Amino acid sequence: MGNLASIIPVVVFLIVATGLGLYARRASNGSGEGFVKEYFIGGRSLGGFVLAMTTIATYGSVSSFVGGPGQAWETGFGWVYMATVQVTALFLLYGILGKKMALISRKIGGVTVIDVIRARYNSNALAVASAAIIVLFFSATMIAQFVGGAKLFEAVTGYSYNVGLALFGIAVIVFTTIGGFRGVALTDTLCGIAMLVGIAVLAAGILNAGGGYENIMATIEANSPQLLEPFSAGAMPASLYFTQWLLVGVLTFALPQSAVRCMGFKDTKALRQAMIVGTVIIGAMMIGVTALGTLSAGVLTEDLAAYGGSVDNIIPTAIAQTLPPWLAGIAIIGPIAASISTVSSLLIAASSSIVKDFWLHRCESRGRAVPDVTIARLSQLATFVIGAVVFVLSIVPPDVIWRINMFAFGGLETAFCWTFVLGLFWRGATKEGALLSMVGGVVVYCACMAAGVTFFGMHQIVIGITVSLVLMVAGSLASSRAAMRAGKQPQPPLFEAFFPEK
Amino acid sequence: MEQRARRSMTYREKLLQADREAKAAVVGLVLTIVVWLVCGIGLSGLDVKVLGTPLWIIGGTLGTWAFSIVVAVVLGKRVFLDFDLDDDAPSSAAPTGEDGGLRG
């Protein structure tokens, strides 16, 4: 039987989150914006703090709170050192894509990243491929979030996996369906705060249980001195550092769920504020929570087998063993908030891919006017159905959450990095090059993942991102030359919005 | 600060400014990687501890974090310019605005 005291804080949190979704819906109704612009991009109204928090909460997932710290318990401070690379995520995102996406999306009337891609390359095939890749990889990520959150819930509260899944799975689907992008941004802000509170509470529990910080460090040095080495006696090779810099550092700005946030802020001041505030918070969050994983090695001192044989059990065990039930209930709000904030952001983006980028565009290209009320109903239905499908698929959980998350990260970065970067900064990028890059890169990446093919033992992102770049450049140059020989105009109709002459 | 003042810029000028900001962000990334390497692995040979924590852990994690905040502040206060995202200064060839112009 579960512990009621540990479930009450979670229930209260979910009620508040759902209330914020309802509030966002009411605010949207009175905004005077069209439904599509309001539901999928929140009327471009995000201020600096909300922009920072929604970006961080979307980026920081249950993997950051459970899988990563669990691995840090086993590997040591090398894993914390590796997690530090995430401090560059916000200034890279806002610096590289921030102003460009904001300006261009306003110019073309775009509300999704696929709107921008479609406008830049004038290619429906590329837009459809983008939508398919987004829905596919987002679904994998959402399943990992649901599973991670529900496993943690089960371990800490004593209630079953399915009770946890039902509780926050239903809540996140409902508030996302109702609140749209604005609701997601508001609940993300609440989730970001809850994540910080969860870290602080767990830190207090671990430090108290371990007899203070210095005592914990002494215990770690006595039991496992390799945890204090950067290469962890060979468990943290340089190649792993290199690939993690790519996966969770340099390339994260290309994730579509991050890029879309650059289309939703209200002014340039908000962008600057978000960059500074966000860099402070993301460091506290990612370094803090991963360090707690390593510090828990000073409290949970037995072999991994004693904790169920999976590093995913470490943080739930640390919460359950170091905190009284009511405080444990507050501590697990952090990872559950990380889970639902990522799911809600991906859910609304996946919904927009189907409704806005595929169905609505198809209607418009056939000259069929669609009333706002129909768009509203279909958008909410799509959000609900995608959420429900992911929920059902999560009932039978896969193992090792962070690997699923990293797989999806790599796939999305392979697909979108060069399509965004070269599309926005290189006049010579063409739709043929982009299509080759996106589809070819993802196919090669997935094939290498499935076959276990690596380049000198490094994560397959290295192969995926390299193939994607080569195909983009070669495809663009070849298609441009072919177009010039045929005397065709190589530039799409909206090219001027990306590279104005005057 | 003068640099923060909203200026009237053409659409093209705004995109060129965005290019400069992107380049500066990449420079910030490169510098952060250097700091991460030097303050982390670079200090791992020293047998210095603070509160039982080897110096490379503090330098590689908290040091890198502090440096990234400095990068964000410098970008935000010295490199990024404020301008209106919705209205552009007149330009003979500039595309028209969100509600009346080039739609996808």
Band (pLDDT 50/70/90 cuts) for residue B96 is very low
Which chain B residue's Cα is nearest to A262? B85
Q: Has residue B94 been placed in a domain?
A: no
Which residue range forms the structural domain that includes residue A68?
A: 4-23+49-414
Residues of B in contact with A493 (CB under 8 A): 102
Rounded-to-integer distance, Cα B32 and Cα B37, Å: 9
- Tell me the whole-structure pTM to 2 decimals: 0.89
Is the pLDDT score of B100 beyond 70? Answer: no
**Mean pLDDT, chain A, integer:** 90
Distance from CA of A297 to the nearest CA of B (A): 14
Phi, psi of A100 (to 5 degrees): -60, -50
Asked if residues B46 and A246 have their Cβ atoms less than 8 Å apart, the reply is no
Q: Which of A99, A287, A425 sits opposite B61 (nearest CB)?
A: A287
pLDDT per position as a tens digit, A439-451? 999 999 999 998 9
Q: Has residue A461 been placed in a domain?
A: no
Q: Has residue B90 been placed in a domain?
A: no
C-alpha distances out from residue A306 to A153, A202, A281, A397, Å: 19, 21, 34, 21
Asked if residues A230 and A81 have their Cβ atoms less than 8 Å apart, the reply is yes
**Long-range contacts from B3-6, C-beta under 8 angstroms, 24+ separation:** B3/B77, B3/B78, B3/B81, B4/B77, B4/B81, B4/B82, B5/B82, B6/B82, B6/B83, B6/B84
Which residue range forms the structural domain that includes residue B61?
A: 2-79
Quote the pLDDT of residue B25.
97
Q: Has residue A367 been placed in a domain?
A: yes
Which chain B residue's Cα is nearest to A238? B41
Beta strand B49-50 with B53-54 is antiparallel
Segments of chain A scoring below 70 in pLDDT: 1-2, 30-33, 397-402, 489-490, 502
C-alpha distances out from residue A258 to A278, A295, A323, A419, A424, Å: 13, 30, 34, 15, 16
Helix, strand or coil, per DSSP, at residue B102: coil
State whether B72 and A90 contact (CB < 8 Å).
Answer: yes
Q: Which of A98, A221, A500 sits opposite B11 (nearest CB)?
A: A500
Quote the pLDDT of residue A7.
86
| Residues contacting residue B85 through CB under 8 Å, at least 6 positions apart | A102, A103, A106, A267, A268
Write the CATH number for A297: 1.20.1730.10
State whether A496 and B93 contact (CB < 8 Å).
Answer: yes
Rounded-to-integer distance, Cα A90 and Cα A252, Å: 9
| Residues contacting residue A366 through CB under 8 Å, at least 6 positions apart | none
How far is residue B31 CA from its own chain's centroid? 11
| Residues contacting residue A12 through CB under 8 Å, at least 6 positions apart | none
Q: Has residue B63 been placed in a domain?
A: yes
| Torsional class of A309: left (φ above 0), alpha (ψ -120 to 50), beta (otherwise) | left
Q: Which residue has the tokens 């829905």?
A: A135
DSSP H or E segment with residue B54? strand B53-54
Q: How many structural domains compose chain A?
A: 1
Count other Cβ atoms within 10 Å, centred on residue A366.
7
Instruction: Please count the residue pairs, one from chain A and one from chain B, whose beta carbons lie less than 8 angstroms apart.
Output: 177
Residues of B in contact with A109 (CB under 8 A): 98-99, 101-104
Q: Has residue A125 been placed in a domain?
A: yes
Q: Which of A110, A217, A269 sits opposite B51 (nearest CB)?
A: A217
State whether B97 and A102 contact (CB < 8 Å).
Answer: no
ipTM of the complex: 0.89
Q: Has residue A28 been placed in a domain?
A: no
pLDDT per position as a tens digit, A163-197? 999 988 899 999 899 889 888 899 999 999 999 99
Q: Which of A81, A108, A273 sits opposite B102 (nearest CB)?
A: A108
Residues of B in contact with A81 (CB under 8 A): 40, 56-57, 60-61
pLDDT per position as a tens digit, A368-401? 888 888 888 888 899 999 999 888 888 876 655 6
Q: Has residue A470 been placed in a domain?
A: no
Count other Cβ atoms within 10 Å, centred on residue A381.
13
State whether A425 and B22 contact (CB < 8 Å).
Answer: yes
Q: How many structural domains compose chain B?
A: 1
Q: Has residue B85 been placed in a domain?
A: no
Q: Has residue B49 been placed in a domain?
A: yes
- State the DSSP code for A88: G
